[in-house]
Chain A
Amino acid sequence: MSKTTFDAVIIGGGMAGLCASIHLLEKGLKVALVSKGDPVISLSTGCIDLLGSTPDPMDGLDMLPEEHPYRLVGSDGIVESIETFKRIMAETGLDYVGDAHTNRKILTPLGTTKTTCLVPETIMHSEFSDEKYLHLISFDGIKDFYPSYITSRKTLAGYSTFDAGVSTTMAIASRFEEKRFLDEFISWLKALEVPPGKIALPAVLGIESSKEIISRISRETDRKIFEIPTLPPSIPGIRLFRRLKNLFQAKGGYIYWGNDVASFETTNNHIEAITLSTPGRPHRVGGRAFMLSTGSFVSGGLFAHRDSIRETVFGMDVYLPGPRQGWFTQDFFARDHEIEKAGIRVDKAFRPIDSDMENLFVCGSILAFSQVMKYQCGNGLALSTGFMAAKSLEAGIS
């Protein structure tokens, strides 16, 4: 049995877990990141929603309920976290633009707009006015992008369709990484002679080299170009996830990917190790402190039975919003289903209130009262609670 011990073991390789573990690595700790699988950020728009209700996200903080996790982070904490995130992303080469005090609107593939805060450079020109012409590029046979959703809503818009030889967003993005393909695409685009204005495409401009690809297209066409994040698989989400994961490894972090936590060992309310259900023989990962960032229901951090909700790693008590009949309102568009409040309640140091474990910290959307859909705060909540909980963990073991 492996006796390897880490300073911190982060369980859950999503936005919160990755940010927390990168912070701890930067502080010189030995960190293991344990994840059952890839996170839902790789399905997200790749943008950082911070708080959607007000033009300055920070103005919305006071309107949040007392229990909301942002209250623990505080306005300074959020601003600092956003800056840290931007610094980290710049280090990965996938720069993000924006600041914690400014919300922006980006175009969705339905022709609606969506409020978000930070965006990768490929999406930064997404804002547009109805008075200016917008030209859309689509691809033959593509399943997850229909330009007419947008052109029918916007009078000054047109579109052209490129034959990429493949029709899924993944395959098109992969082709953009080929130089010859990109050359062909650019000469096709130049020959179109589209009316003056911005050019928008579904988010397929390469997986690894999006920054180089978009700046080359922009330079050669002399246009502002932006991507529209599509339904999953979401290329901007994949880029964000992979960059963070690679940075974690480049900074010396150690990953265990693809297996459940089967069990854990404790002595006197102190978690000693977790055991992974690796094929053949369980694999033990020991640590001085543990961080739970396994996400909510979609990510599998919480699981709802017919009459109860379970936290899936440590079996902790979960804040449960009443019986099943009341979990969801009748209205699909309500955004305030009670179930969104379910999760782990924590104290100021991000330690679970309903657990005795003294070296356990919790961050991300598994936190009770997050209500991510209602407040449009998904990735922002994940990264800021991630950084803050990491600080708390760091203080806890020093």
Chain B
Amino acid sequence: MNFEHCIRCTICVESCPVFKVNPAYPGPKQAGPDSQRFRLDNEKSVDSWIKLCCQCKKCNVACPYGVNPADIILEAQLAYSEEHLMPLTAHMFANNYYMETLGSAFAPIANRVTGISIVKNIMNVVGISTYMPMPSFHALSLGRSWKKKGKGKKKVVFFYGCFLNYNRPDLGRKIRDLLVSMGLEVILPHQVCCGLPALGNGDLKTARRFAKKNAGILCDYIDRGYDVVYACTSCGLTLVHDYPGILDIPNGQKVAENTWNIHEYILDLIDDGYVEPVFGQMNKQIAYHIPCHLRALGIGYPATRLFDMIPGLEYKIFDENCCGLSGSYGFKKKNQETSIKLGEIAAKAITDTRPDVLVSDCGACRMQLGHFTRLDALDPAEILIESLTKATQKS
């Protein structure tokens, strides 16, 4: 009974991005532990505002007592969705994976379609926000290039996630090659969406179906001595936090225990003396925006410790702001204003320091902040790759 430990100190309220820009949202304390006292098992939920929480989980990280308001809120969101008809947009985003599979199969058409104004109008009607271009689809998704790459004592399964798969397969392949260059055997097995979009849109069933499917695939490899590595921090948090947690699927704990953040993993390889990568000089100043779900993982910001090894690289950490897109949250019309305000706040903090480039582990953060800062938005792996490449070129 976590909510019982809440002493109403308001630390979670201080950390909540939505609360400070959207007066309709009562904040994590009210939405979580306070309201929980009025949510009885046998009563119907009426708290429609609960959907305004973007599940950035900043409140979980901020709470010094382990109340985990975001988890309480997520349960209330799921209960609300179960008792009320889901809007069309929620269905669409919950089943994002299928849409993207389609989008990818018909990539040129899909891209042209989401860009034209008449379609934008339709999107507006069904409640999809259009302030930012929808991510574009790619025909050559990663799921089709599942062959084993590299050789090494250590073997990893790369859980690439939907964004890399459908929107940035090029980057996905780069990251795979980065892992290979660390002396690893890498495999990209067929996998489905991690389940987070479904969870975020109130569809526990779909989320659980995806999770079970992935757990089956991943455990098959784990049993054969593979470690699971992810680059997308939202997928990662879902695998380690939600699979054994709210989704409570068979083998969820096993997946969680054997899953690593890519930078955490590389750092361990270096610490263990498994590899000794040589990083080349990079005279760049980067703004490193910490994705909310990396923060929520609690493992610190491991990429920064790799950045520390790159000569000439300067970075500044931005870990106080949520980019506001928060998966499909910002794509919904009713959240558009919140999303834009949060995007602007996070972008201003970054542009004030005049960096050369923006870096973030999360595809959604990169889209949103790339849009608002007008900076190139890179994955931390791209920085590592660039530096490693420079080192090879030199030698």
Chains A, B in direct contact (C-beta < 8 Å): yes
Chain A contact residues, CB within 8 Å of chain B: 1-4, 32, 35-40, 42-43, 166-168, 170-171, 173-174, 177, 208, 232-233, 238, 242, 246, 249-250, 252, 254-260, 276, 278-281, 283, 298-300
With contacts A4-B267, A278-B297 taken as known, whether A171 is within 8 angstroms of B20 at the C-beta atoms is yes
Identity of the chain B residue whose Cβ is nearest the Cβ of A165 in the assembled complex: B23
With contacts A37-B63, A208-B349 taken as known, whether A258 is within 8 angstroms of B20 at the C-beta atoms is no
**How far is A197 from B259 in the complex, measured between Cα atoms in Å?**
62
With contacts A2-B271, A167-B23, A280-B259 taken as known, whether A37 is within 8 angstroms of B65 at the C-beta atoms is yes
Which residues does chain B contribute within 8 Å of A255, judged by CB atoms? 300-301
A257/B64 in contact, CB under 8 A? no
A2/B264 in contact, CB under 8 A? yes
Q: Which 10 A-B pairs have the closest CB atoms?
A: A280-B240, A37-B64, A280-B256, A258-B61, A279-B241, A278-B298, A174-B20, A259-B298, A38-B62, A232-B10
**How far is A259 from B66 in the complex, measured between Cα atoms in Å?**
8
**How far is A177 from B19 in the complex, measured between Cα atoms in Å?**
15
Give A9 Cβ to nearest chain B Cβ, in Å: 12
Chain B contact residues, CB within 8 Å of chain A: 7, 9-11, 13-16, 19-21, 23, 27, 60-66, 237, 239-241, 244-245, 256-259, 264, 267-268, 271-272, 295-301, 304-305, 308, 316-317, 319-320, 345, 348-349
With contacts A38-B64, A280-B259 taken as known, whether A170 is within 8 angstroms of B9 at the C-beta atoms is no
A166/B23 in contact, CB under 8 A? yes
Q: Which of B15, B16, B304 contacts A254 (CB 8 A)?
A: B304
Which residues does chain A contribute within 8 Å of B237, judged by CB atoms? 279
Identity of the chain B residue whose Cβ is nearest the Cβ of A259 in the assembled complex: B298
B13/A280 in contact, CB under 8 A? no
Q: Which of A32, A242, A276, A300 contacts B64 (CB 8 A)?
A: A300
Which residues does chain B contribute within 8 Å of A208, judged by CB atoms? 349
Give B69 Cβ to nearest chain A Cβ, in Å: 11
Which residues does chain A contribute within 8 Å of B257, judged by CB atoms? 280-281
Identity of the chain A residue whose Cβ is nearest the Cβ of B15 in the assembled complex: A38
**How far is A300 from B61 in the complex, measured between Cα atoms in Å?**
15
**How far is A171 from B304 in the complex, measured between Cα atoms in Å?**
32
Q: Which of A36, A43, A174, A283 contacts B10 (CB 8 A)?
A: A43
With contacts A2-B267, A4-B271, A281-B257 taken as known, whether A168 is within 8 angstroms of B19 at the C-beta atoms is yes
A256/B298 in contact, CB under 8 A? yes
Which residues does chain A contribute within 8 Å of B305, judged by CB atoms? 4, 254
Which residues does chain A contribute within 8 Å of B240, judged by CB atoms? 278-281
**How far is A135 from B302 in the complex, measured between Cα atoms in Å?**
50
Q: Which of A1, A40, A171, A280 contacts B23 (CB 8 A)?
A: A171
**How far is A40 from B65 in the complex, measured between Cα atoms in Å?**
12
Q: Which of B62, B272, B299 contacts A37 (CB 8 A)?
A: B62
Which residues does chain B contribute within 8 Å of A280, judged by CB atoms? 239-241, 244, 256-257, 259
10 contacts between A and B (CB under 8 A): A4-B305, A37-B63, A40-B11, A167-B23, A174-B21, A177-B345, A254-B304, A255-B300, A278-B297, A280-B259
With contacts A171-B20, A280-B257 taken as known, whether A36 is within 8 angstroms of B64 at the C-beta atoms is yes
**How far is A43 from B11 in the complex, measured between Cα atoms in Å?**
7
B300/A39 in contact, CB under 8 A? no
A298/B9 in contact, CB under 8 A? yes
**How far is A158 from B346 in the complex, measured between Cα atoms in Å?**
38
B64/A171 in contact, CB under 8 A? no
Which residues does chain A contribute within 8 Å of B295, judged by CB atoms? 257-258
Give A93 Cβ to nearest chain B Cβ, in Å: 12
**How far is A298 from B7 in the complex, measured between Cα atoms in Å?**
9
Identity of the chain B residue whose Cβ is nearest the Cβ of A33 in the assembled complex: B300
Which residues does chain B contribute within 8 Å of A233, judged by CB atoms? 10, 13-14
**How far is A258 from B259 in the complex, measured between Cα atoms in Å?**
19
**How far is A238 from B13 in the complex, measured between Cα atoms in Å?**
11
Which residues does chain B contribute within 8 Å of A32, judged by CB atoms? 300
**How far is A43 from B304 in the complex, measured between Cα atoms in Å?**
29
Which residues does chain B contribute within 8 Å of A1, judged by CB atoms? 268
Which residues does chain B contribute within 8 Å of A300, judged by CB atoms? 64-65
With contacts A2-B271, A3-B272, A37-B65 taken as known, whether A283 is within 8 angstroms of B14 at the C-beta atoms is no
**How far is A32 from B11 in the complex, measured between Cα atoms in Å?**
22
Which residues does chain A contribute within 8 Å of B304, judged by CB atoms? 254
Give the one of B239, B295, B319 with max A CB within 10 A.
B319
**How far is A1 from B304 in the complex, measured between Cα atoms in Å?**
18
**How far is A170 from B15 in the complex, measured between Cα atoms in Å?**
10
Give A91 Cβ to nearest chain B Cβ, in Å: 15
Which residues does chain A contribute within 8 Å of B298, judged by CB atoms? 256-259, 276, 278-279, 283
**How far is A238 from B7 in the complex, measured between Cα atoms in Å?**
18
**How far is A280 from B293 in the complex, measured between Cα atoms in Å?**
14
B9/A40 in contact, CB under 8 A? yes
Which residues does chain B contribute within 8 Å of A256, judged by CB atoms? 298-300
Q: Which of A35, A167, A171, A238 contacts B21 (CB 8 A)?
A: A171
A3/B300 in contact, CB under 8 A? no
A170/B13 in contact, CB under 8 A? yes
Q: Which of A174, A246, A252 contacts B345 (CB 8 A)?
A: A174
Give B161 Cβ to nearest chain A Cβ, in Å: 16
